[in-house]
Structure 1
Amino acid sequence: MPSPTKSAAPDKPSFLRGLFAGAIHDALLFPFPDPLERRDADEARTVRRLIASAHAMRDAGLIDSARFDAEETIPDETIRAMAEAGLLGITVPREYGGLGLSSTGYARVFGEVAAMDASLGVVIGVHAGLGCKPLVLFGTDEQKARYLPALARGETLAAYALTEPETGSDAQHIVTRAEPDGEGGWRITGRKHWIGLAHRAGVITVFAQTPTTGRDGRPAQRPTAFIVRPDMPGFRVVGTVRKLGIRGSTQAELEFDRCAVPADHVLGQVGKGFSVAVNVLNGGRLSLAAGCAQGAKAIVGEMARYAEQRIQFGAPLASFEITQRKLSTLAAETYAADAMVGHLSAALDRGDVDAALEAAAAKVFNSELIWRAADEMVQVAGGRGYVMPYPYERMLRDARINRIFEGANDVLRLFIALNGIEGPAEKLQELGAALRKPIQNFNAVAGYATDRVRTALGSPVDGVDVRLHGRLLHHKRFLEKHTAELKGAAQAAILAHRKKIIERQLVTERLANMAIELYARSATIARTQRLLEERGEGACAHELALCDLFCVESGQRFRAQRELLGGRSEAVDDARRAVAARVRAAAGYDVSDAVLDRGGAEDGTAENRTADDDGARYGRAAASTSKLGA
């Protein structure tokens, strides 16, 4: 899956970026979006029909997760049934035979299918999202007419070949090359791996470096997107890989040996493939976040049912407070995850905001939620959680990939923080231009001016006057307080590390965690306010309890991250770096065994240490950490 990159709309406002500047953009959050039924009743009916079709497929045995997992494939009859139901044409415009769903509609359908079976979610995400979207957004009229109708009908599948063994999913630095063949066409040479559906696809978007002219007028290499078919000479599927989870979906390794691609199969412009790559990212992260939110709902339900039925020590597991803690926390976090999906999908449909950071935050939060939920389900199920034929161990295996797909969460946290602090950095005159260059090298997005925006959630902002229900005012005050603290922490980090902030990933990770919590809390408050306005307090007791619990626990997590940025954090981080340096140098743990060996490691690494080496390596860290209290 593609890695994070710069936003496609740097001149548009961003709610999350505003938080780093101490501003809460009320107009970007309130009122919480209408449900799809009110925004587009026809599309809502289509979405409900598609969801019903997926459920009917499961009831008919066409969606069988245990079978998909055991056989490590999805049968052709299941793919045909998905095509007949219209599930493979959901992103293709109606004029080309598809359903042309909005971002909201697509995310909702994807989420439902992914919650039923994670591998089927991958099929839809690769085909309808990554595979079809480049053609929809960048294809010529001829290219669309030639390929989209067949893709919408499911007569062939689409794939997206970016990831490489050498560079991963870094679109700017791929090593696959495409050279002009002298007759107007191209010859592609290189390898791609972990490409979903590639062994079944008839249309593959392939990225390769092409010779162009740089801004300085000198020759340069820039990525270009190509439409490749498996019948083109020089294309070969090397094989497929076996995986920890999502085993029903198949990822393949591809080889291009001077693969012949006609001139009319360039997708977009030569040298502009980076734009093709980045424009599918936000939608991909939204759909993944939606799948994780729907999956978490399903796991909470399964956990509740199991815990009521399972008797231990003479009582149902659900009667024990530890189980109740698991259920309540997961339910509250799922409520927040769902709120982020609702806010983000509507924002992407409007198109008047830059939602790149929000999409990254929702992806990080929701993918980590589904992992915790699956892990807790295994724990509650005990021995049954670890063995077949119970589905719980498969849930855990399937959930793990979400923290890697659509940009690894570690990298997305850096993306959020480095983009978020660029605006505050520009306002600190002593840093200014010195910080701009390294952040831009990390695919930064220009900050949105927040001069006209007040930090109080209840203040009139951009013409919006937000009046919160009394039950939410306490959460609002802490949200404002914590937003101001994020701004202060960001400024302190900028001043402390200056242009080296890009290297201080332990610091930027904490800033990102703080911002993600604030976005999740903001969306939760906005959604709860909307429900209170529509239903009244008496009908929203459960939603209010979920909001209360999430806001309190989110605040605790926020404070924990803020404290890690306090005065003692550098000493702890120094110790981490020192220990990591020793482990790297020794290529291992490098400590004698506590039971069998008191004099040194058997491989000799421990004896080879010298006091001088250890002193040089650990001196600073030891001096710092010795001053730390409990």
Structure 2
Amino acid sequence: MSAPAATKPSFLRDLFTGNINEALLLPYPAPLSERDPDEARTVQRLVDALNDMVTSGLIDPQRFDEQEFIDEAVIQAFAECGLLAISIPKAYGGLGLSASAYARVFGAVAAIDASLGVLIGVHCGLGSKAVVIAGNEAQKQRYLPMLARGETLAAYALTEPETGSDAQHIVSRTERSPDGTGWILNGRKHWIGNGQRAGVIATFAQTPIERDGKIVHRPTAFIIRPDMPGFRVDGTIHKLGIRGSTQAELVYENLFVPDDHVLGEVGKGFRVAVNALNGGRLSLASGCVQGSKRLLGEFTRYAEARTQFGGPLANFEITQRKMATIASETYAAESMVGALAAAMDGDVVDVALEAACAKVYASDLVWRTADELVQLAGGRGFVKPWPYERYLRDTRINRIFEGANEILRLFVGLNGIQGPAEELKEIAGALRNPFQNWVLVSGFAADRVKTALGKRDRFEASWHNVFRKHVTYVEKHAAELAKATQEAITKHRKEILNRQLVVERLADMAIELYARTSTLARTQRLIDERGADACTREIALTELFCLQSGRRFRGFLTELEGNTGDTIDDLRRSVAAQVRADGGYASPDVLLDVVIPPLRTWSLVRDEQAASTQPPLPKR
């Protein structure tokens, strides 16, 4: 059994204290083909099967997008080749892939079609995974083999109209059944991938438990099935992108869930939700990286083929700048994914912050890449039948999936500021969920962090000469992150939790450092294996990324130093307050003020439910 996350080290968490714990990242892990050749061959077999489906026309992303569902024949083919069994242990009929192998397969699927990526991610990475990590032996024996064979799909029903994916504050409720043999569940879930097709659904609801002599409500995870009385699919929804994947509205009306379908412990559902999402952030980051690779290939082909002003677009320096930036940032994002996946395989590191960083960076990257491709393609980028507009639509969801990037930045920053000091234990749990226990967290005192700062501030590893200046800057910037963290705590004290713009800057600095260090470590390994002369491409990618990353880091730091950031943030709050008071933009029009009818006003819940009018697809 692995150690609890709280007792495991974290490279990112240590960086906030100025401690460069290089043993957690160096040497950079070898590729899967060296670490586990048999598993690498399994991955290759799955990818080959996937490619055959593309060649035969079975997989057609344009068709999925237009019809807004994935054909049953595709799901059946996935089941037959094992793509629905990749996260399920071999003991239950699955392939039992490691985190690295799973991420690579998921990346291949998502790069071909984002909607297929959602189907795999929900079935393998969330629904089935919840049973794997929290189910008892009877539950695993009952459900995992059928999920591995693809007899039915799995879903993961957490998100609700009122609270989104905030697992602690979901409003679905349960009460004990009159006969004491189970739970009566009432609630509504929305945007549930595979929800209208799934035969096994991991869901969450508040349950009454006794705590310190009082009855309180805490989330509990359950396994439910669509054949349970009281379960209803209330339609599916139309979306901007990933249209081939189907998201359903689920309704629970006095749904009886027997005790043997409680997933994990009663009142401990939050742990189930968090553990499933951490793995999902790795796979999502991998999908975004592989998507960026594919989009850069499309970008390059179009730039070479499209002639303007006497030559191909690829000859223009602005086009080359975009190519180079996308390539270097994709290399960096992939470096983070490789380091994160190997750390998850080893299971001796707390990777919650690293997973959040990789997800944030990679999802922002794939969106920028798709946007640049649309810009390059001009009019063709905006219209059908060219696929570029679909690429843009499909990539947008990644910045929302598995935790919105804004929330994950706060997650990274708030966890980073707590430091490794033992005396911070009483607030560690609250900081890991920054939007609960506000009063407790706001009691955080700066003097508790000072003792945690100033540890190992230099790399001990050997670096190639070409990287020494970049390594020196990483060391310098790690010290500056620690100093900025301490100063932010000292300055804001009880208000640090409310100063989201400050916490966001600290998180962005940490993300840049993790990306830069992972990239340097990756290329150093290649140099050690092949020699520098054989790595000129990777060295150039690394140098370009380090230079640009360093400048971004300096920009964030500048806003934290002195009064620069305070001035900017004060103005932002002031302007935002005026916008709120005005209900939008209210300055006089520069040309002529005219009356324009307001847009239709939407409520957050009722209109969404009314809009869910698309009938559910046939269940498998």
Q: CA deviation at 1:593?
A: 1.4
> How many equivalent residue pairs?
584
The separation in 1 between residues aligned to 2:596 and 2:301, in whole angstroms, is 52
2:501 counterpart residue number: 506
Q: 1:470: Cα distance to partner?
A: 1.1
Change (3 A) 1:565 1:343: same
1:65 matches 2:61? yes
Please point out which of 70, 76, 81 is paired with 1:74. 70
Cα drift, residue 439 of structure 1: 3.5
Residues 44-68 of structure 1, C-alpha deviations (whole Å, 9 max, x = no match): 1000111111111111111111000
Give 1:455's match in structure 2, choosing from 449, 453, 457.
457
**Residues 227 and 265 in structure 1, CA contact (< 8 A), matched pair in contact too:** yes
Shift in Å, 1:217: 2.0
- The percentage of aligned residue pairs carrying the same residue is 60
2:219 counterpart of 1:217 = no
* Cα offset, 1:182, TM superposition: 2.4
Task: Give the equivalent residue in structure 2 for 1:208.
Answer: 205
Structural mapping, 1:277-296, within 5 Å: 277-296=273-292
CA distance in 1, matches of 2:513, 2:432: 25
Change (3 A) 1:482 1:145: same
**Once the two structures are superposed, what CA deviation does each residue of 1:174-223 show, in whole Å capped at 9, x if it has no partner?**
11011111221111001000110000000001101111011x22111111
What are the superposed Cα offsets for residues 27-49 of structure 1, whole Å, 9 maximum, x if unpaired?
00100001111111111100011
494, 497, 510: which is aligned to 1:515?
A: 510
User: What residue in structure 2 maps to residue 324 of structure 1?
Assistant: 320
Shift of 1:296: 0.5
Q: Unpaired runs of 5+ in structure 1?
A: 1-6, 460-465, 606-630
CA contact (8 A) 2:19 2:478 kept: yes
Query: Structure 2 CA distance, aligned partners of 1:90 and 1:150?
Result: 13
Residue 471 of structure 1 deviates from its aligned partner by: 1.2
Contact 1:136 / 1:144 at 8 angstroms: preserved in 2? yes
Distance in 2, matches of 1:560 and 1:102, equals 38
Instruction: Supply the distance in 1 between the matched residues of 2:539 and 2:128 (Cα, whole angstroms).
Output: 40
Partner residue, 1:487: 482
Q: Which deviates further from its counterpart, 432-441 or 157-166?
A: 432-441
1:543 Cα deviation after fit:
0.3
- Residue of 251, 254, 257 corresponding to 1:255: 251
Matched, 1:88 2:80: no
- Residue-by-residue CA offset, 1:302-348 (whole Å, 9 max, x unaligned): 11111001101010000000000000000000000110010000000
Q: CA deviation at 1:447?
A: 9.6
Relative distance call for 1:405 and 1:449 in structure 2 (3 A) is: farther
1:433 is displaced (CA, Å) by 9.7
Does residue 400 (structure 1) correspond to residue 396 (structure 2)? The answer is yes
Residues 433/10 of structure 1: CA separation in 2 closer, same or farther (3 Å cut): closer
Are 1:187 and 2:184 counterparts? Answer: yes
Secondary structure at the counterpart of residue 423 of structure 1: coil
State whether structure 2 residue 50 is matched by structure 1 residue 54. yes
Give 1:158 deviation, angstroms. Answer: 0.2
The residue correspondences of 1:559-570 to structure 2 (distance < 5 A) are 559-566=554-561, 567-570=563-566
Instruction: Report the more deviating stretch, 558-567 or 286-295.
Output: 558-567
Q: Distance in 2 between matches of 1:286 and 1:357?
A: 11
| Residue 133 (str. 1) matches residue 135 (str. 2) | no
Q: Which amino acid aligns with 2:136?
A: T
RMSD: 2.2
Residues 279-300 of structure 1 deviation map (CA, whole Å, 9 limit, x = unaligned) = 1121100000000000001011
Instruction: Tell me if 1:20 matches 2:16.
Output: yes
Candidates 169, 174, 178, aligned match of 2:170:
174
Q: Residue in 2 aligned with 1:533?
A: 528
Match of 2:618 in 1: none
The whole-number CA distance in structure 1 between the counterparts of 2:141 and 2:38 is 25
The yes-or-no answer on 1:382 pairing with 2:382 is: no
Counterpart residue type for residue 407 of structure 1: G
Q: State how far apart, in whole Å, the 1-side matches of 2:394 and 2:585 are.
A: 30
Larger deviation, residues 448-457 vs 292-301: 448-457
Q: State whether structure 2 residue 345 is matched by structure 1 residue 349.
A: yes
SS in 2 for 1:385: helix
What stretches of structure 1 move > 4 A for 4+ residues in a row?
Answer: 432-438, 443-453, 601-605
8 Å CA contact 2:131, 2:263 repeated in 1: yes
Contact 1:17 1:447 (8 Å CA) reproduced? no
Q: Which amino acid letter does the alignment assign opposite residue 390 of structure 1?
A: W
State the AA in 1 paired with 2:292: A
Amino acid paired to 1:585: A
SS of corresponding position for 1:249:
coil
Instruction: Say whether 1:10 aligns with 2:18.
Output: no
Match of 1:545 in 2: 540
> TM-score, with normalisation over the residues of structure 2?
0.91
Q: Which runs of 5+ in 2 are unaligned?
A: 599-620
In structure 2, the residue matched to 1:108 is 104
Query: What is the distance in 1 between the residues matched to 2:117 and 2:427?
Result: 40
With the length of structure 1 as denominator, give the TM-score of the two structures. 0.90
